[in-house]
Amino acid sequence: MERITYQDIPNGMFENLRIIEDSIINSSLDRKLIEIIRLRTAQRNGCAYCVDMHHKELKHLDESDLRLSSLCVWEETPYFSDKERATLYFTDALTKLERKPIPDDIYNSLLSFFSKEEICFLTLAISQSNTWNRLMKTFGFTPGNYIANK
């Protein structure tokens, strides 16, 4: 049972978050990479609704079952490129914040693959995903009903 339904959400709340989503999607970041970030963030936060959503979005983008099932243990697999691995290290660090800055080695590894503008969008994508995870966990949206855009 949802704690907060779509009808309970204040006017403009999701619409304003969608504006941020649109800026991320319209950036130069690859759509599949954005979805990998979103799925990994949802896994780290234990957000079943978002795991369901982003797993389905990645399937829609033709992501392999092997990579999808291995994302939760990505560090132990050879299935992710160096660029994806740098992104996943950053995603994990930014999702589970410690009381210290993001380590230089994690940030510097991004510079091999992304411009500073793209790093800004990566940071925003990870932060936004964390926001959605927290909303869905609070609102209690039911996983399993999401249908990927065709």
Rg (CA), the chain: 15
**Which residues touch 49 (CB under 8 Å, ≥6 apart)?**
136, 137, 141, 142, 143, 146
Question: Residue 36: what residue type?
Answer: I
- Kindly provide the b/e burial profile for residues 32-55, where b requires at least 16 CB atoms within 10 angstroms of the residue's own CB: ebbbbbbbbbbbbbebebbbbbbb
**pTM score, whole prediction:** 0.94
What's the chain's average pLDDT? 95
Q: Determine the average pLDDT of the residues in 34-45.
A: 98
- pLDDT band for position 150 (cuts 50, 70, 90): low
Tell me: pLDDT of 79 over 90: yes
DSSP alpha helix (H) spans, the chain:
13-25, 31-45, 48-60, 65-70, 82-95, 104-110, 116-139
* pLDDT-above-70 percentage for the chain: 99
